[in-house]
Amino acid sequence: MVASRIDGVSVRGIVGCVPDGRETVADLARRFGEEAARKVAAATGIEERRIVAPGQCTSDLAEAATRRLLDGLGWEPDSIDLLVLVTQTHDQTLPGTASLLHRRLGLRKGAAVLDITHGCSGFVYGLWVAGGMLKPAGRRALLLVGDTTSRLIDPEDRAVAPLFGDGAAAVALELDDRAEPIAFDLGSDGAGAPYLAADGGAMRHPDRPPRLFMDGTQVFAFTLREVPASVRAALDGAGWTTDMVDHLVLHQANAQMIRHLGQKLGVAADRTVVALRDVGNTSSASIPLALAASLADSLTAGPRRLLLSGFGVGWSWGSAALVAGPLAVCETVVLPGRKYPAESAAPASPAA
């Protein structure tokens, strides 16, 4: 495990973005039958998922979130010194999606940009990377996270089709000498790579499109094995007890799993955020989307102690304990279901 602390960095705002397209339990019932669809919803807590329209990409969601974030903060694009983007569903093979967003957002020439390919733990990893890079890079950073996992789903695959939705989020970071340290715990175990994967559409399998595969039993076992220790390590790194935590926000993969982990960690149910009913599992964006959807009033009102943990594909896990708030902006926007101009869509996307 990697344990570390980052000093002098504050979160200033969070904006999530989801597409307006959606697939509901009723839609799934038409494919899998009413009883099967209802069982999945009861087991996972997911009633509907947000789905991008043809021609929309991860960058479109991230751009919409970022524009609202900058507007809410009153930050000019040329004041951004660093952009870190975390996604598993890049717009195209190259250049990186961060470079595309640098241009579309009008960031200043010379600002540093970086793509990170990561999934369920990606928000915490991104926070660690962006926070650590900010002081050498300048004063302000944008951390963008998001995935359009629906592009990887076989609609007839009952193991994944009812679970994964699309979404993105933008988080503003700024140097602040008064900020409390952010404590991290990070880790990985590549032995888990085969159990949550999309192996098509790459050099090994150029003859077939990428399709997501998940062994849910292995995912659940990994989560219970690794996550509680990681969360406790971040808690210890911050010098907190569980009673000091205002909100526990875990990767929003499964409502039962979230509640079980909250109980195992000794965090009361009313302080454990469950916010996946209307969006599904949004991979790297699930934690900031949950913050924006469930804690906007709390985070804009004053400082809150947050205990965060993302975990999954890889295997990988990352936990963070931080104080955030009062935020200048914390909300969710909706991306209309329309095709963006050609330069904003992914040339390599089979749906473009």
Instruction: Return the CATH number at 154.
Output: 3.40.47.10
Q: Does 286 reside within a domain? A: yes
User: For residue 238, what are the CA distances in angstroms to 53, 194, 215, 234, 248?
Assistant: 42, 34, 34, 6, 14
Structural domain harbouring 211 = 182-327
Q: How many domains does the chain have?
A: 2
Q: Does 171 reside within a domain? A: yes
Q: Are 154 and 199 in the same domain?
A: no
User: For residue 33, what are the CA distances in angstroms to 37, 43, 213?
Assistant: 6, 16, 21
Q: Measured between alpha carbons, how far is 165 from 152 in angstroms, rounded to an integer?
A: 11
Question: In terms of DSSP bridges, do strands 9-19 and 166-175 run parallel, antiparallel, or are they unpaired?
Answer: antiparallel
pLDDT category, 3, cuts 50, 70, 90?
confident
pLDDT average, residue stretch 31-47? 94
Q: Are 262 and 113 in the same domain?
A: no
**What would the two tokens of residue 296 be?**
């906007």
Q: Does 37 reside within a domain? A: yes
Query: Helix or strand or coil: residue 129?
Result: helix
Which residues are part of the catalytic machinery?
A: 120, 251, 281
| pLDDT for residue 103 is more than 90 | yes
Q: Are 287 and 305 in the same domain?
A: yes
Q: Does 347 reside within a domain? A: no
Residue 133's H or E segment, with its range, is helix 122-137
pLDDT average, residue stretch 43-63? 96
Average pLDDT, the chain: 92
Convert the pLDDT of each residue in 187-229 to its tens digit. Answer: 999 999 999 998 765 555 566 678 898 888 999 999 999 999 9
Dihedral sign from CA coordinates of 24, 167, 128, 240: negative
Q: Measured between alpha carbons, how far is 275 from 327 in angstroms, rounded to an integer?
A: 20
Q: Are 133 and 248 in the same domain?
A: no
Q: Are 202 and 101 in the same domain?
A: no
Q: Measured between alpha carbons, how far is 180 from 341 in angstroms, rounded to an integer?
A: 42
Q: Does 250 reside within a domain? A: yes
Q: Are 282 and 315 in the same domain?
A: yes
Q: Are 150 and 223 in the same domain?
A: no
Q: Are 28 and 128 in the same domain?
A: yes
| pLDDT for residue 236 is more than 80 | yes
Q: Does 294 reside within a domain? A: yes
pLDDT category, 284, cuts 50, 70, 90?
very high
Q: Does 346 reside within a domain? A: no
User: Of 160, 106, 306, 315, whose CA–CA distance to 227 is shortest?
Assistant: 315
Q: Does 29 reside within a domain? A: yes
Please tell me what DSSP assigns to residue 248: E
pLDDT category, 349, cuts 50, 70, 90?
very low
Q: Are 215 and 256 in the same domain?
A: yes
Instruction: State the pLDDT at residue 207.
Output: 65
Vertex 270 angle, CA 328 and 122, to 5°: 55
Q: Evaluate whether 152 touches 89 at the Cβ level (below 8 Å).
A: yes
| pLDDT for residue 338 is more than 60 | no
Instruction: State the pLDDT at residue 337.
Output: 84
Of 158 and 81, more confident: 81
| pLDDT for residue 99 is more than 90 | yes
Q: Are 175 and 193 in the same domain?
A: no
Q: Are 100 and 237 in the same domain?
A: no
Q: Are 171 and 229 in the same domain?
A: no
Residue written as token pair 């602390």:
5
